[in-house]
Amino acid sequence: MGSLPSGRVTISKPFSHCGVDYAGPVNLKEGKRRNARICKAYISIFVCFATKAVHIELVSDLTSDAFLATLRRFISRKGRPVNIYSDNGTTFVSANKQIKELYDFVASEQVQTNVKDFLRDQETSWSFIPPNAPHFGGLWEAAVKSAKYHLSRIVGQAHLTFEEMTTVLCEIEAILNSRPLTQLSNDPNDLTPLTPGHFLVGTLLNSIPSPDLTDVSENRLTRWQLVQQLQQHFWRRWSTEYLSSLQERSKWKKNLGAALEPGRLVLIKQQGLAPLQWLLGRIQEVRPDSDGISRSAVVKTAKGMFIRPITKLAILPIDQ
């Protein structure tokens, strides 16, 4: 395996080295009137190389002015980056006309010239990965792959206003930045994980308490309750998929409990958790069956000791 890029391993402030990816289009309403016109917008996703933090912006249209405004907002909120990397438009071959339109815009010479002129004034370099080499952007693609998948299905056809969509994206950004990366300390009584949010605000990110609206009919919700429901739908789907992605899939004969030594901090699969709430625990004991294969473990959580099957436990990504 080759050496990691310097931006991945050098200590730097968040988003000094980042990748940018795109999603969309999403359909927006131009007002709250019932007969308001529907227009298209796009989502720009920035991923920090060092901290895996995510920053999401809503782009009103496919013009260089709109995209430069997005870059200005990003720099104003997260600071001036040293290097920005993005996909080359020719990397993507898609039969979807709308997706092709998006990446044709990114690859156009005029847009690249305008963006590079702007970033040259900011002393920031913008690099496009080589054509036909999507693996060059594996870091940011992996970070936002499942998020983009659920974004397009949950908010793509919701027909929100620009303000409502911006609120949903900010809440989704907080969800992505709340994901545990590794343990914060070796103290056996400390169940606090290190998250991308620690690098941004210095502590765990929290959400505003709200009632569970996931199963409420849409026609019974106000506009802002609909925004909360979309956030909760995203959390339920994405968190489940994220936990599953952390679990190694192998033949049933393999002893998965071998990696769960006592003292290790793990994520526990638990249904019904509120957004940004992750259930963590420390392994106290791994219980082998008569055939020597461990299928359950004793886990210490903030609420006490519990026995959980190995299939409900996931090792934190940086500890794997």
Is position 169 within any domain?
yes
Residue 34 falls inside a structural domain: yes
- The tally of domains found in the chain comes to 1
Residue 201 domain-assigned (yes or no): yes
C-alpha torsion 183→186→188→189, nearest 10: -70
Q: Show the low-confidence residues of the chain (pLDDT under 50).
A: 90-96, 98-99
Confirm if 32 and 161 have CB atoms less than 8 A apart: yes
- Whether 194 is in a domain gets the answer yes
Residue 262 placed within a domain: no
Residue 211 and residue 314: Cα distance in Å, rounded?
28
The whole domain housing 192 covers: 6-233
CA-based torsion, 213, 214, 220, 224: positive or negative: positive
DSSP string, 213-277: -TTS-GGGS-HHHHHHHHHHHHHHHHHHHHHHHHSPP--TTS-GGGG--TT-EEEE--TTPPTT-
- pLDDT on residue 92: 41
Mean pLDDT score across all residues of the chain = 80
What is the per-residue pLDDT across 191-201, written as a single tens digit (0 to 9) for each?
889 999 999 98
- The per-residue pLDDT for range 12-55, each reduced to its tens digit, is 789 988 888 877 788 888 888 878 888 888 888 899 988 889 99
Does any domain span residue 195? yes
- Asked if 150 contacts 238 with a C-beta cutoff of 8 angstroms, the reply is yes
The domain that holds 207 is classified in CATH as: 3.30.420.10
> Is this model's pTM higher than 0.75 or not?
yes
